[in-house]
Structure 1
Amino acid sequence: MPALKQRHQNGGRSPRSGNRGSSLPGSQDLRGKTLQSHSTKAHVHHSSRSIFSSWTYLLGFLVVLVSVAHWGNTRLPTPLNEPFDPKTGITQYSEANVRKITKTLSEDIGLRLVGTIQMVDAEEYLIREIKSMQEQALIATAKGAKDLPKFEYWTQVNDGSHRFDFMSKVVMKMYTNMTNVVVRLSCGPECDKNSVLLNGHVDTTLGSPGATDDALGVATLMETIRVLSLRPALKRNSLVFLLNGGEESLQDASHSFITTHELKDNIRAVINIEGAGTKGPEILFQANSREMVDAYKRVPYPHGSVMANDLFATGIILSDTDFRQFVEYGDLTGLDMAVYKNSYAYHTHLDTNEHMEVGLPQHLGENTLAMVTYLGNHADLSGPKFEKSTDVIFFDTLGLFFTVYSFQTAIYLAMGVGVFALFAISLGASRPTVKSTASVFASFAASMAGAIAVAKSLQLLGKPMQWFSGEWLPLIHFAPAALAAMVLVQYFVHDPKASHGANELSTLSGVHFFFAVFMGTATQARIGSSYALCLYSLSFTVSMFYNRTKISGLSKKNQREDMSASAIGVDYKTYFVATAIPTLTFAQLAFCLLDTLVPLMGRIGTNAPVDVICAGMVGFFCFMISPPLLAFVHRFGRGPMKKIIAALVILQLAILSFSVMFIRPFNSLHPQRVFAQHLRNMTSGETRVFVAHCDPGPFYDTYVAALESMYETKAKFHHGVDSPGDWHAVYPFSFFLDSYSLDTTPYIRARTENKTIAESNSPLTDLIKDSPKMVAENVRYDPGKGLRSLTILCTHADYIFTVVSFDAKLTAWSLDSDIPSKEYNHYVVRISSGYRADGWRMDLEYHASGPNDKLKVEITALEPEAFGGKAERELAGTGEMLVLHNLVKSKPEWMAMTYFSTIVDTFYL
C-alpha cells in the first residue's frame, strides 16, 4: 500500500497543503487567514463562521439526499375512484373498488379463521362477486365488446397433509375441508396450456381483522379479474387467480391447490401477494428467477431490492408465505410481494381498512396489473419452467427506475470497479496508509460499539426497548454515541505533525480502500446486496480522481510545487462528489431496514437481544450514511473534533435522561404483543389463564401484577423452552413464549350464579361434555417385528384447530411425507379443520414392547367462541367465559392481545 508522501516546509508543513482557491466555505486557502509559525509546524486558523458554514453546507446536502430517498421510499400514486376511465371509457384499476372488498372482508365479516362461519361467509361473498363479474362480461359482450377472455371459476374442497418446518422445528400438518376459490381468465385452449398463478389468502390469524393481511391481496386479485375480464383477452398465456382459504393455518390451502387441483400442471410461474403492514409502497422481497424479475421491470412504481431477498433468507424474519408451497411442491419460480411499512399492525387489531394508507391499493394494483399484462401477452412459457435462480441483482432507484442484472455481471462489475480503485492508488490520487485504513476499520467498529454501550446502559437502568414506539426512534437513541465514537477514533489518529489536508486525504483514501475491500469480500461471498458497496467504491474512486484534478489544476494555476506535494489535501467539493450516490443509495436501504426490523423486534421472543440488535444497526447506519465525514472531521484539526465529541456526548446524555423519564416503549399504535389463553386441562381438572409476551420489554410489573390482583391469586412463571406444551395451540411459536399462569377456578366459583358449582369441590372440567375425544381402531400387534399399529379417530365438535403430540419410534403413518426420524422422537401434528369438519383420522405404526404398550397422545383444541364473545357454550351460568372476556376488557390500550380458549386432554390409545 503506498505510503502518504509528506512535504515539510517552513518548519513543519507546506501552507499550500490545503485547497487553495476553492470558493466554497471550508476550503483551506490562505486568503483572509493568518499564518502562525511554530518550531515544528504551521497552522492555518479557520474562523468559527467558516467552520460552521462548511458543516452547514455539507450536512444540508446530506439532509437533502436523505429527504429525497424518503420521498422515493414512501410516495404513492393518486387513487382512482372510477371503475372506468371517464375520457376513454376503458376499464381501469380502482382503489375505491378494492376498498369496498377489504371493508366487507375485514369489517362486515371480520375475523376469518379457518373453521369458522365467518370464513364461509367470506367465501360465499367472493363467489357472489365473481359471478357478478361474469355477468358484467357477458353484458359487455352483448353490447359489442370483442375478444373478451374466457371466464371460469372453481371451488375446491380438499383434505391433505404436509410437512412444515419452521423456527428449526419440525411441524407436521394435516387439514380437512380446506377450501379454495379459483378463477381463470384465458384466450382459449392454447392459452390454457401455460398459466401464471396469482395468489392471495382469504383467512386471517387469531385476533386480527386482516385488512392488509390479506384482504388487500384478495381484493387486488378481484379487481384485476374485473379489469381484465372487460378488456380484450391476453394473447399468449392464461391467468389463474387463487383465493386460498388457509394460509394462516400454515399454508394448507396453497398446498392443497398446487398438489391436487386440476390446473396445477399448467402453472408455470407465480406471483404471491401478502401483507405485513398497513402502509406502502409494497415491496418485492423474494424472487427466484431472472425472467420474473424482468417482468417486474414493467411495473409503473417499482420498489424492491435484493437486500430484502438477502434479509429474508437469513431467517431473522419470523414469518413465511404461500410462496414456499408453490416453490417446494410446484417447483415454480416467481415473485413474492408484501406491504411492509407500519408492521406494528401486523397480526393485530390495528390491521384495519382505516389504517390502510391512501394510495397503497392503487400502487399494488397497478403494479400487479402491469406484470400480469406483460406475462399474459409476451412471456414465453411454452418451454421448460423458468430456471430457478437467486443469483439475480435487482434494486429500484427512488421508485422511478428498476435495475436488473445477473450475479455474474455483478462479479465483472466488482472486478472492474476494483481495478479502477487500484488504478487510483497507483497514480497517487488515493493515498491510503496502514494507519488511515486501520482507523476507518476502527471507526466502523466503534460506531456500533458506542451505540451498543448505550443499549446496555438502558438495560442496566431497567428501561429496555425505549426506542420501540417509532421506526426512527432508534436513530435518536443511539446515533449520538455512535457518531461520537467514530469521531473519537479519528481524534486519536489525527497526526498533529502533518497538515490538516494531509490528514484529510489520508483518511479519505483509507475510506476509499476500505470500501474496495468491503465490496470485494461481499461479492466473493455472493451477497446480492454487494451492489450497493460497488456503488460506494465507484463513487469514492471517482471522487479521488476529481480531487486530484482539482488540486492539480490549482497547483498549475499558482505555479507552486510539484504534483505530489500539491495533491496533499482535499478540495471541499470532493465531499459532495463522494457522498451523493452512496448516501442516496444507502438512505433508501436504511429506510427499508428500519421499517422492517424495528417493529419486528417486538415479536421475536423474550430472550432476543433486541436493544443490542437495534443499536448495532444504528451504528452501522451512522457509518454508512456518509463515510467521507471521517475525513472531513480532520479538516479543522483536533480542536473542533474535541468540541464535536463533547457536544455529541452531552446530547446523548440528554436524550437518555429524557427517554428514561418520559418515554414509554409501547403505545396504542405501537403496541406490545401479548398472547392470552384460557386453558382447561381435562386430565388434571385445572382451569388456568396463561399470558405471554413476545419481546424482552417490561411485562410483569406493567401487567401481570394487575392480573394477580384481579384474579386474587399468584402467577406462576413458565419458561417457553421448558414448557412448550402450554402453548401447543400456537406451536411452534410456543418455544419463545415465556409466560405466567394464574389459577382461575376460585375466580369462577366466586362469581358464578350456579350455587351448586360455587359450593362444589369437583373440577369445573367435569361439566364439559363435548370436549374432543380420541379412540383407537384397527389395533394390531406384530410380535415378530415388535410393531403396533392403530388408527386414531378424533372427534371435536366445532373446535377449529387441534394439535396432537406423542412420543414414539415410528415406522409408518398416513401423512403425505416421510417420517422425520427413524429414532424415538417427539412428534407434534397440527390439524386445521374447515367449517363443520368435526373430526379426522390418522394411521400410525410404531415399535412397542407388547400389545398393551399404548400410545400416550395429548390433544389441544381451540374453540371459536372465545373471540370477543360472551357466550358460554359449555358451562352456561358458571362465568367461565367471563374469565377471558374480563381479561380482554381490562387490557391496557398499549397492548395488542391475541386471545383464545383451549382444552387439553390426554388419551392412551
Structure 2
Amino acid sequence: MAAHSDALPVLKQRHPNNNHQSDTPPTAGLHDIKDDTLSGTDEKKPLLSNTSLSTTQLFKAAPAWLYYIGFLALLFGAAFQAHYALPAPVSELYNPTTGQAQFAESNVRRIVKHLSEEIGYRIVGTEQDQETQTYLLSEIKALEKQAEVQALRGVNGLPMFETWVQAADGSHQFDFMSKAVMKMYTNMTNIIVRLSCGPECDKNAILLNGHYDTTLGSPGAVDDALPIGVMLEIIRIISQRPAPKMNSLIFLFNGGEESLQDASHSFITNHELKDKVKAVINLEGCGTTGPEILFQANSRPMVEAYGRVPYPHGTVMGNDLFGTGVILSDTDFRQFVEYGKLTGLDMAVYKNSYLYHTHLDLDEHMEQGLPQHMGENTLALATYLADNISLEDLDKTSSVVYFDVFGIFFVMYSMKTATIAHVALSLLALWTVIIGASRPTLRSVGSVFISCIAAMLVPNVTAIGLQLLGSSMVWFTHEWYSLIIFGPLSAFGIFLVQYIAHDSKASNGANELSTLSGIQMFYTAALVLGTSVGLASSYFLAMYSLFASVALIYNHQRVQARSIGSGGQNAVTATVDYGTYFVASAIQTPYFTYLAFSLLDLVVPLTGRTGVDAPVDNVMAVITGFGTFSFSPAIMAFAHRFGRKVLMRILIGLAVAQLAILLISAATLPVYDTMHPKRVLVQHLRNLTSGESLLHVAHADPGPILPYVAEVEATFDAKATFRSGSQHPNDWNSVYPFSQFLDSYVIDTTLYIRAHTTNKTIANSDKPLTELIEDAPKLVAENIRYDPVTGVRSMTVLCTHPNYIWTVSSFDAEVVSWSLNIPVPSKEQFHYVVRNAGGYRSDGWRLDLSYRVEDDEVGEADRLRVELTAIETEGFGKDIERELKGSGDIGVLRQIVKTRPDYVTLTYFSSVVSTFHL
C-alpha cells in the first residue's frame, strides 16, 4: 500500500502544479494519435491547459476511447460467435467412407417430430401416454432387429440387447419451492434397454436417462423428446458396434418426470437393475437453441470423462448456482443421487427457454445442429465410460473445478490444486506491490468496491422508472435488451464513483495506476475469500486477479523501459501505458462475455415464470450491473486517463442516453410477442361441494395481464373478479406447489354453458351444473378403528377417479403412521398435500392412515376433512374437450384455446374439487 507514496517525489518534480493536475490528461494519446496514444508515453509538455478543455482537445482525446471500446466490441463479438456455435447437422445414418453407423440429427428429428406433433401432449395417464409407450417399443424392436441383421452378416462381438417394461406403484417425498409434497404414483411405466458384453459387463452399468412424458400445455419437442431421440440413436449406433469392454449401458425411457419425478424414483428404488447402476448421465431440455450445458456434476471421474466430448460446454459456476436453489427447476438427477446414491452428470439444453413448457416447444423451433451437439457429446461419453472407466467406488465430490474455454477444450482440476494456484496468485499480486508495479491505495481499492455496488444498485433507478411508466419487463423479448436498458446507468454508477474518487492531488497517470492496482487488490481479496470457503467458482476470480497482475507487470516493464530509454532515472513514473488496457482485457473480457451470455440466456426467460410478486426489473438491473462491472474492470482506470472534466462529460452523456432509452423503450417495446409469450394458466374448476363452475385465469410473472383478462371477459360475456392466492390457497392445488405463486381472475361460466350447450337438461336445469356430473372422483374410508388408550384413529382411504388424472388430496392432521414409503414429516398437527399420478387407465389408489384425535369419543369434529382435486384427461393435445354427461364442461377450454392471442401461451386443464369428511 505504501508503494504509491514512493513515487510522489517524482511526480512533484515533473508536475509542480499538482492542484490542477487532475484535469491534465496524460499526454500520451492526445498530441499524436498515431504514436503517442498507442504508446501511452508521458510527454513533458502537456497538450491541454490546466484550466480549460476545448472542443478540439476533446476530439483529440476521442480516438483513445474509440480504439479501446472498439477492441472490447471485437472481443464481445468473438465471444458471441463462440458461445452460440453448433456443429453441422448430419443426415446420413452411415459414414459414406467407412460404412459405420454414425450419429445423424435427421434420425433424431424424425423421432422428435413424431412424438411432439403426431402423438402430441404426452401427459402421464392420457391415451397419448399409452401411444408413446407403444411407439417407443416398436422403435426399440426395430433397432434390435437391425443388430440381428448385422450379426447374420458376420459382424462379430455385437452387444447383447435386452429390453424391460416396468410398471410399478410407489411413493416418495418431493421438497420443492420450500414446500413438502407427498408423492404417490400408480402404474408408472418405464421402458429399459441394456447393451452389454455379457455377465462381466453386467456387474456395473452407466445409466442414460430421458423422459418421454410432457407437462400440461406442451408437446415437448425438446423437453424431453430430444433426449429420447438421442438415446434411440445412440442405441442404433452402439448396437451395431463391438460390445462395451468394461461396463454395460442402460437406457431408461422414463415415463413420468413432469409428474414430479415419479418414474425415475420407481426405477432407482424398484427395478431389478437398480443395483447394477453406478453412474448416470441425465439428459434434459428447457430451451430450443444453442449447445446443451453440463450444469450438475458430483464426481471427478465423470467430469474427467466429460472432458473428452467433442463440444464441451459447462462450468462449475452452474453447479454452484443450481445448488443454491435460486433456479426454480429440478431434474430426475435428484432421484438418482438421493435414492440411488449415484454419481454422474446432468446435461440440458437451456438457451431460448421462452418456449419451455409451452405449445411452441416444437421440432420446427429446435435449432439446426442442436441434436447433433447433444448426440455426439452423449455418444462420446457413453462410449468412453463403457470401455475405459472402472465404476467401482466412484466417490461423490463437489471439490472439483471445471470449465470449458469457448467450447473448444475443457479444463478440470481439484479444489486442492485450485487452492495452491490461488495462493500463488495472491503472492504474485503481493510481489507486484513490492516491485512497485502495483500501487494500490485505500482510496482506489475502496472506489473499486463501491463501483461494484453502485453498478448493481444505480440501474434500479431505471427499474423504478419502468414500473412508474407501466412498462415493467420491456426487456423480456430479447435476452440482450437488458444490457441496453440498464447498461448506461450501470456504467454511470461506476464512473460516478471514479469521478468522486479521483485524487486531485495526484496526476491522471497516478490515478490510473492506483485504480488499476485497486482492481487487482479487489479481485485478489475476493479470491482469498472465495477460496477460504471452498467455492469452486472462485476460479473466475482467479482469472481476474491473474490478468490484472499480468497487465500491471507489462505496464511496469513498458514504463521502465521508456524511462531508461529517455535517459531518465530507474524510478518508474506513476502512469499507465495505453497497451496495458488491451493486455488487461484480452482474455478476461471475452471469457466473461462468454459466461454472461449463458447467465442471460438462463435468467431472462426464467423471469417469465417466477411469480407475479417477483421484482424481476430489479433483478435484471442488478444482474446487468454486475455484468457491466465485470465486462472490463480496467475501464475504471481508463476513466481517469483524461481527467475529471472528460469524465463529467461522459457521465452527462450516459445520463442523457439512459433517459432517452427509458422513454423510447417504454413507448415502443412490447413486453411479449409470438416467440416470447406471456405464460397464462387457465383452469376450469367445478366445485362439487359449493356447486360453482368457475374459470380461473392466472399468470406467472409481474408483466401486464389485464388486457388478456379483458379479452377473456369479452369471450364469455362476464366480468372477472380477483381472488388472492394467499386467501384461497387451494384454488390451484392441482399444480401444487407452483400454486403458491398464483393469483386468479375468476369468471363464472354457468351462464355461458347454459347458453351454448345443446343438452336441454343442462340448459333448462335450475340446479348447480356440478350436481349433474357423473363418475366424479370419490373418497371413502374403510376399516375405521379407534384406540381410546392412544387416542389414535385409523382407516383405509380409497379413491376412485375414472377419467381423471393427477389427484391432489390436502388435509390437516397429527399423523401417527401411514402406508406411504415416506417418514411422517411431523409429529404435530401439519398440513399435508398428497399428489397422485397414475399411468394410463389407473383410476384409483389407497392409503392406510392413522392420526391422533383430541376427544375420547370420536365425534363429527374428529372426522378427517380431505379436499380432493382431480384433473380431467380431456383437453390435451389432439383431444377435443368432450361434452361430459351433465358435467357442464361444454367447450369452455376449447373456446379459451381458440381465442388465445399470439402473445399468450396457455397451460390449461379442467378439474373438479370436492370436500370429504371421512
The two structures have a TM-score, normalised by structure 2, of 0.96
Aligned residue pairs: how many?
901
Q: Is the CA contact 2:215–2:357 (under 8 Å) kept in the aligned structure 1?
A: yes
Which of the numbers 680, 702, 708 marks the counterpart of 1:703? Answer: 708
Q: Which residue number corresponds to residue 838 of structure 2?
A: 833
Give SS of 1:800's match.
strand
Structure 2 residue 35 is the aligned partner of structure 1 residue 23? yes
Offset of residue 806 of structure 1: 0.9
* Alpha-carbon distance between aligned partners in 1 of 2:177 and 2:104, rounded to the nearest angstrom: 39
Which of the numbers 252, 256, 275 marks the counterpart of 1:265? Answer: 275
Matches within 5 A, 1:322-333: 322-333=332-343
Give SS of 1:858's match.
strand
Which of the numbers 586, 589, 596 marks the counterpart of 2:602? Answer: 596
Q: Is the CA contact 2:774–2:885 (under 8 Å) kept in the aligned structure 1?
A: no
* Alpha-carbon distance between aligned partners in 2 of 1:545 and 1:895, rounded to the nearest angstrom: 56
Give SS of 1:725's match.
coil
Structure 2 residue 847 is the aligned partner of structure 1 residue 842? yes
Which of the numbers 83, 93, 103 marks the counterpart of 2:93? Answer: 83
Matches within 5 A, 1:348-497: 348-381=358-391, 383-384=392-393, 386-497=394-505
Q: Is the CA contact 1:116–1:835 (under 8 Å) kept in the aligned structure 2?
A: yes
Q: Kindly provide the CA deviation profile for residues 835-865 of structure 1, in whole angstroms up to 9, marking residues without a partner as x.
A: 0111111100011233443211111000021
* Alpha-carbon distance between aligned partners in 1 of 2:729 and 2:220, rounded to the nearest angstrom: 27
* Alpha-carbon distance between aligned partners in 2 of 1:765 and 1:36, rounded to the nearest angstrom: 85
Q: Which residue number corresponds to residue 891 of structure 2?
A: 882
Q: Is the CA contact 2:881–2:893 (under 8 Å) kept in the aligned structure 1?
A: no
Offset of residue 594 of structure 1: 0.3
* Alpha-carbon distance between aligned partners in 2 of 1:766 and 1:134, rounded to the nearest angstrom: 53
Q: Is the CA contact 1:26–1:51 (under 8 Å) kept in the aligned structure 2?
A: no
Give SS of 1:661's match.
helix
User: Which residue identity does 1:145 align to in structure 2?
Assistant: V
Cα 1:17–1:629, aligned 2, differ >3 Å: closer, same or farther?
closer
Q: Kindly provide the CA deviation profile for residues 857-894 of structure 1, in whole angstroms up to 9, marking residues without a partner as x.
A: 11100002122644434246x86332222122222210
Give SS of 1:535's match.
helix
* Alpha-carbon distance between aligned partners in 2 of 1:236 and 1:29, rounded to the nearest angstrom: 64
Q: Which residue number corresponds to residue 867 of structure 1?
A: 876
Which of the numbers 155, 169, 175 marks the counterpart of 1:159? Answer: 169
Which of the numbers 170, 181, 184 marks the counterpart of 1:174? Answer: 184
Cα 1:879–1:768, aligned 2, differ >3 Å: closer, same or farther?
closer
Offset of residue 561 of structure 1: 3.8
Which of the numbers 190, 199, 202 marks the counterpart of 1:189? Answer: 199
Q: Is the CA contact 2:4–2:439 (under 8 Å) kept in the aligned structure 1?
A: yes
The two structures have a TM-score, normalised by structure 1, of 0.97
Q: Equivalent pairs: percent with the same residue? A: 53
Q: Is the CA contact 1:12–1:42 (under 8 Å) kept in the aligned structure 2?
A: no
Q: Which residue number corresponds to residue 347 of structure 2?
A: 337
Structure 2 residue 903 is the aligned partner of structure 1 residue 894? yes
Structure 2 residue 536 is the aligned partner of structure 1 residue 528? yes
* Alpha-carbon distance between aligned partners in 2 of 1:57 and 1:647, rounded to the nearest angstrom: 19
Which of the numbers 312, 315, 319 marks the counterpart of 2:329? Answer: 319
Structure 2 residue 659 is the aligned partner of structure 1 residue 653? yes
* Alpha-carbon distance between aligned partners in 1 of 2:463 and 2:665, rounded to the nearest angstrom: 12
Q: Is the CA contact 1:178–1:834 (under 8 Å) kept in the aligned structure 2?
A: yes
Offset of residue 319 of structure 1: 1.0
Cα 1:347–1:316, aligned 2, differ >3 Å: closer, same or farther?
same
Give SS of 2:157's match.
coil
Offset of residue 510 of structure 1: 1.1
Structure 2 residue 508 is the aligned partner of structure 1 residue 500? yes
Q: Kindly provide the CA deviation profile for residues 243-285 of structure 1, in whole angstroms up to 9, marking residues without a partner as x.
A: 0100000000000000011101111000000000001200000
Offset of residue 496 of structure 1: 3.2
Offset of residue 649 of structure 1: 1.3
Which of the numbers 564, 573, 576 marks the counterpart of 2:579? Answer: 573
Matches within 5 A, 1:477-876: 477-563=485-571, 566-700=572-706, 702-848=707-853, 849=855, 850-852=857-859, 853-867=862-876, 869-875=879-885
Q: Is the CA contact 1:532–1:585 (under 8 Å) kept in the aligned structure 2?
A: no
Offset of residue 636 of structure 1: 1.1
Which of the numbers 103, 109, 112 marks the counterpart of 1:93? Answer: 103
* Alpha-carbon distance between aligned partners in 2 of 1:907 and 1:879, rounded to the nearest angstrom: 22
CA RMSD of aligned residues (A): 1.9
Q: Is the CA contact 2:26–2:42 (under 8 Å) kept in the aligned structure 1?
A: no
Give SS of 2:825's match.
coil
User: Which residue identity does 1:478 align to in structure 2?
Assistant: F
* Alpha-carbon distance between aligned partners in 2 of 1:30 and 1:91, rounded to the nearest angstrom: 65
Structure 2 residue 119 is the aligned partner of structure 1 residue 109? yes
Cα 1:615–1:36, aligned 2, differ >3 Å: closer, same or farther?
closer
Q: Which residue number corresponds to residue 255 of structure 1?
A: 265
User: Which residue identity does 2:554 align to in structure 1?
Assistant: Y
More divergent stretch after superposition (491-500 vs 318-327):
491-500
More divergent stretch after superposition (703-712 vs 683-692):
703-712
Q: Which residue number corresponds to residue 12 of structure 2?
A: 8
Offset of residue 449 of structure 1: 1.7
Offset of residue 508 of structure 1: 1.0
Give SS of 1:440's match.
helix
Q: Is the CA contact 1:443–1:490 (under 8 Å) kept in the aligned structure 2?
A: yes
Q: Kindly provide the CA deviation profile for residues 644-683 of structure 1, in whole angstroms up to 9, marking residues without a partner as x.
A: 1111111111111111111111111011111000000000
More divergent stretch after superposition (638-647 vs 781-790):
638-647
* Alpha-carbon distance between aligned partners in 2 of 1:43 and 1:732, rounded to the nearest angstrom: 62
* Alpha-carbon distance between aligned partners in 2 of 1:733 and 1:692, rounded to the nearest angstrom: 12
Q: Is the CA contact 1:277–1:344 (under 8 Å) kept in the aligned structure 2?
A: yes
Q: Is the CA contact 1:34–1:44 (under 8 Å) kept in the aligned structure 2?
A: no
Give SS of 1:805's match.
strand
More divergent stretch after superposition (47-56 vs 686-695):
47-56
* Alpha-carbon distance between aligned partners in 1 of 2:214 and 2:158, rounded to the nearest angstrom: 34
* Alpha-carbon distance between aligned partners in 2 of 1:225 and 1:260, rounded to the nearest angstrom: 24
* Alpha-carbon distance between aligned partners in 1 of 2:517 and 2:69, rounded to the nearest angstrom: 21
Q: Which residue number corresponds to residue 276 of structure 1?
A: 286
Unaligned runs of 5+ in 2: none
Give SS of 1:821's match.
coil
Q: Kindly provide the CA deviation profile for residues 49-83 of structure 1, in whole angstroms up to 9, marking residues without a partner as x.
A: 44222112211211121222112211111111111
* Alpha-carbon distance between aligned partners in 2 of 1:435 and 1:209, rounded to the nearest angstrom: 58
Offset of residue 569 of structure 1: 0.3
Cα 1:681–1:507, aligned 2, differ >3 Å: closer, same or farther?
same
* Alpha-carbon distance between aligned partners in 1 of 2:594 and 2:897, rounded to the nearest angstrom: 40
Give SS of 1:281's match.
strand
Q: Kindly provide the CA deviation profile for residues 815-836 of structure 1, in whole angstroms up to 9, marking residues without a partner as x.
A: 0010010001111100001101
* Alpha-carbon distance between aligned partners in 2 of 1:35 and 1:84, rounded to the nearest angstrom: 70
Q: Kindly provide the CA deviation profile for residues 700-759 of structure 1, in whole angstroms up to 9, marking residues without a partner as x.
A: 2x1112323333333222222332200011000000111111111122122233444333
Cα 1:422–1:765, aligned 2, differ >3 Å: closer, same or farther?
same
Offset of residue 463 of structure 1: 1.5
Q: Which residue number corresponds to residue 311 of structure 2?
A: 301
